[in-house]
Amino acid sequence: MFLSAISSDDFSVREKLLVLFWQLVYGNALFAKVTKEVFMRAVYQGRTSLSVIDVLSLLHHIKETEESELNWSEETLKITASKYLTMLKKMNLAEGKTAKDICHPIITGQLFVYFIRWIIVTCPENRTLENPFVIFGFMDKRSIIERLKKVEYLSLWQISQMGEDVTIDLIDHE
């Protein structure tokens, strides 16, 4: 799924960078934790910027509370925090020099379809909006529900909804 999206001419460079972001979230536990606890929290709280201190604070917390994790020097923690923000900048999710301004990506229809398929494929035991990867979609649950119900997507999945509880079943077209 990832390789076909990255090599596809159908995705723009910006879209491919977001696909790469989601792959990093899936494939790297530390990247996922920092992204969830710092970056996505800031996005959903409406903050406009992040600094190295935001990321460094979480890394210190992990080092202090999870003894088997991050047995790193202070310098390594600082470099890691800085490089995390640089990665966000390279993926067009942040801009700026010292404090990074948060850039909100546009989730096109094609990216939305990819994202829904990605959360189901990466966590098939949880086909609901409680899926742990939903937070990385840059959309609140209500927006996701509204987009899931659009006529243009009905051939791609079946959804069942009871209130805010939504279950998604992908339709196999192969």
Write the pLDDT tens digit of every residue in 36-80.
999 999 999 999 999 999 999 999 999 999 878 888 999 999 999
Rounded Cα distance between 100 and 109, Å, is 27
Neighbours of 19 (CB within 10 A): 23
Q: Which residues contact 131 (CB under 8 A, 6 or more apart)?
A: 119, 120, 123
The model carries a pTM of 0.93
Confidence band of 106 (pLDDT split at 50, 70, 90)? very high
Per-residue pLDDT at 49: 97
Q: Mean pLDDT of all residues in the chain?
A: 95
| pLDDT at res. 33 | 98
- Rounded to whole angstroms, the Cα distance separating 45 from 14 reads 24
The number of beta carbons lying within 10 Å of the beta carbon of residue 45 is: 7
DSSP sequence for 92-122: TSEE-SSSEEE-PPP--HHHHHHHHHHHHHH
pLDDT the model gives residue 116: 98
Assigned CATH class of 12-102 = mainly alpha
- Report H helices in the chain: 2-7, 13-27, 29-34, 41-45, 52-65, 74-90, 109-122, 141-148
Domain range summary for the chain, segments of one domain joined by +: 12-102, 109-170
Distance from C-alpha of 76 to C-alpha of 48, rounded to nearest angstrom: 26
Cα–Cα distance, 130 to 109 (Å, whole number): 21
pLDDT for 173 beyond 80 = no
User: pLDDT digit string (tens) for 128-151?
Assistant: 999 999 999 999 999 999 999 999
Cα distance from N-terminal residue to C-terminal residue, the chain? 14
pLDDT at 174: 61
User: Pick from 9, 19, 5, 39: which is nearest to 107 by CA?
Assistant: 19
Task: Taking residues 82-109, report their average pLDDT.
Answer: 96
Instruction: Work out the percent of the chain whose per-residue pLDDT is above 70.
Output: 99
Residues 114-127 have pLDDT tens digits of 999 999 999 999 99
